[in-house]
A and B are shown apart, each in its own frame.
Chain A
Amino acid sequence: MNRIEKSFKMLKDHDRKAFIPYIMGGDGGLNNLTERLLTLEKFGATLIEVGVPFSDPVADGPTIQQAGIRALQNGTTLRGIIAELTKAREVVSIPIVLMTYLNPVYSYGISTFAQDIAKAGVDGCIIPDLPMEEEDLLATELEDVGIELIRLVTLTSPKERIKEISNRGKGFLYTVTVKGITGTRNEFDQEVVEFLKKVKEISPIPVVAGFGISNEKQINELSPHCDGIIVGSKIVDLFNKNDLTGLESFMSVLKPEKNII
Chain B
Amino acid sequence: MNSYTLPNEKGQFGIYGGRFVPETLMKAVLELDEAYKAAKKDPSFQAEIDGYLTEYVGRETPLYHAKNLTKYAGGAQIYLKREDLNHTGAHKINNAIGQALLAIRMGKRKIVAETGAGQHGVATATVCALLNLECIVFMGEEDIKRQALNVFRMELLGAKVVSVTSGSATLKDAVNEALRYWVEHVEDTHYLLGSVMGPHPFPVMVRDFQSVIGKETKKQFLAKEGRLPEAVVACIGGGSNAAGMFHPFIEDKAVSLYGVEAAGQGIDTDFHAASLTKGKPGVLHGALMYLLQDDDGQIIEAHSVSAGLDYPGVGPEHSYLKDSGRAQYHSITDKEALEAFQLLSKLEGIIPALESAHAISFAVKLAAEMKETEYIVVCLSGRGDKDVTAVKERLERERS
Chain A residues engaging chain B, CB cutoff 8 angstroms: 54-59, 61, 65, 72, 77-79, 101-108, 128-134, 152-158, 161, 165, 176, 179-181
* B297 touches which of A57, A108, A133, A176 (Cβ 8 Å): A108
Q: Does B298 contact A (CB under 8 A)?
A: yes
- Closest chain-A Cβ to B329's Cβ sits at a distance in Å of 21
Whether the pair A56, B184 counts as a contact (CB closer than 8 A) is no
Contact bitstring B336-363, A, C-beta under 8 A = 1, else 0? 0000000000000000000000000000
Are A157 and B180 also in contact (CB < 8 A) when A55-B299, A78-B296, A104-B297 are?
A: no
Q: Does B93 contact A (CB under 8 A)?
A: no
Q: Does B179 contact A (CB under 8 A)?
A: yes
Whether the pair A56, B167 counts as a contact (CB closer than 8 A) is yes
Nearest B-chain residue to A72, judged by Cβ:
B298
A130 to B23, CA, bound (A): 8
Whether the pair B20, A102 counts as a contact (CB closer than 8 A) is yes
Question: For A102, what are the chain B residues with a Cβ–Cβ distance below 8 Å?
Answer: 20, 283
Which residues from 265 to 319 on chain B have a C-beta closer than 8 Å to any C-beta of chain A?
Answer: 280-286, 288, 291, 293, 295-299
Whether the pair A133, B24 counts as a contact (CB closer than 8 A) is no
A61 to B22, CA, bound (A): 14
Q: Does B162 contact A (CB under 8 A)?
A: no
Whether the pair B27, A156 counts as a contact (CB closer than 8 A) is yes
Question: For A57, what are the chain B residues with a Cβ–Cβ distance below 8 Å?
Answer: 176
Q: Does B91 contact A (CB under 8 A)?
A: no
Q: Does B26 contact A (CB under 8 A)?
A: yes
* B23 touches which of A78, A79, A131 (Cβ 8 Å): A131
Whether the pair B24, A103 counts as a contact (CB closer than 8 A) is no
Q: Does B186 contact A (CB under 8 A)?
A: yes
Whether the pair A156, B291 counts as a contact (CB closer than 8 A) is no
Q: Does B321 contact A (CB under 8 A)?
A: no
Are A65 and B166 also in contact (CB < 8 A) when A58-B180, A133-B10, A158-B27 are?
A: yes
A161 to B23, CA, bound (A): 10
Are A56 and B284 also in contact (CB < 8 A) when A103-B293, A180-B184, A181-B180 are?
A: yes
Are A156 and B24 also in contact (CB < 8 A) when A133-B19, A179-B187 are?
A: yes
Whether the pair A107, B293 counts as a contact (CB closer than 8 A) is yes
Whether the pair A157, B27 counts as a contact (CB closer than 8 A) is yes
A77 to B295, CA, bound (A): 10
Contact bitstring B9-49, A, C-beta under 8 A = 1, else 0? 01000000011111111111000000000000000000000
Whether the pair B24, A179 counts as a contact (CB closer than 8 A) is yes
- Closest chain-B Cβ to A173's Cβ sits at a distance in Å of 11
A54 to B282, CA, bound (A): 13
Question: For B176, what are the chain A residues with a Cβ–Cβ distance below 8 Å?
Answer: 56-58
* B186 touches which of A101, A104, A108, A156 (Cβ 8 Å): A156
- Closest chain-A Cβ to B118's Cβ sits at a distance in Å of 21
Select the residue from A134, A155, A157 with max chain B CB neighbours within 10 A: A134
Are A56 and B299 also in contact (CB < 8 A) when A134-B20, A181-B180 are?
A: yes
- Closest chain-A Cβ to B272's Cβ sits at a distance in Å of 17
Are A104 and B183 also in contact (CB < 8 A) when A65-B166, A157-B27 are?
A: no
8 closest cross-chain pairs (CB), A and B: A107-B297, A104-B297, A180-B184, A77-B296, A154-B24, A55-B298, A55-B299, A156-B27
Question: For B298, what are the chain A residues with a Cβ–Cβ distance below 8 Å?
Answer: 54-55, 72, 103-104
A176 to B24, CA, bound (A): 8
12 intermolecular pairs with C-beta atoms under 8 Å apart: A78-B296, A78-B297, A103-B283, A128-B23, A129-B286, A133-B18, A133-B26, A153-B23, A156-B25, A156-B26, A157-B23, A180-B183
- Closest chain-B Cβ to A167's Cβ sits at a distance in Å of 15
A223 to B24, CA, bound (A): 22
Question: For A131, what are the chain B residues with a Cβ–Cβ distance below 8 Å?
Answer: 19-23, 26
Whether the pair A58, B297 counts as a contact (CB closer than 8 A) is no
Whether the pair A129, B299 counts as a contact (CB closer than 8 A) is no
A63 to B354, CA, bound (A): 37
Question: For B291, what are the chain A residues with a Cβ–Cβ distance below 8 Å?
Answer: 103
Nearest A-chain residue to B282, judged by Cβ:
A103
Q: Does B82 contact A (CB under 8 A)?
A: no
* B184 touches which of A105, A129, A158, A181 (Cβ 8 Å): A181
Q: Does B172 contact A (CB under 8 A)?
A: yes
Other contacts beyond A102-B20, A154-B23: 4, CB < 8 A: A106-B288, A108-B296, A176-B23, A179-B24
Whether the pair A156, B299 counts as a contact (CB closer than 8 A) is no
- Closest chain-A Cβ to B306's Cβ sits at a distance in Å of 21
Whether the pair A181, B296 counts as a contact (CB closer than 8 A) is no
A188 to B187, CA, bound (A): 17
Which residues from 207 to 240 on chain B have a C-beta closer than 8 Å to any C-beta of chain A?
Answer: none
A133 to B24, CA, bound (A): 13
- Closest chain-A Cβ to B15's Cβ sits at a distance in Å of 10
* B296 touches which of A56, A104, A129, A152 (Cβ 8 Å): A104
Whether the pair A134, B19 counts as a contact (CB closer than 8 A) is yes
Which residues from 111 to 169 on chain B have a C-beta closer than 8 Å to any C-beta of chain A?
Answer: 166-167
A153 to B166, CA, bound (A): 28
- Closest chain-B Cβ to A15's Cβ sits at a distance in Å of 30
Question: For B184, what are the chain A residues with a Cβ–Cβ distance below 8 Å?
Answer: 179-181
A131 to B22, CA, bound (A): 6
A161 to B19, CA, bound (A): 16
Question: For B183, what are the chain A residues with a Cβ–Cβ distance below 8 Å?
Answer: 58-59, 179-181
Select the residue from A55, A176, A181 with max chain B CB neighbours within 10 A: A55
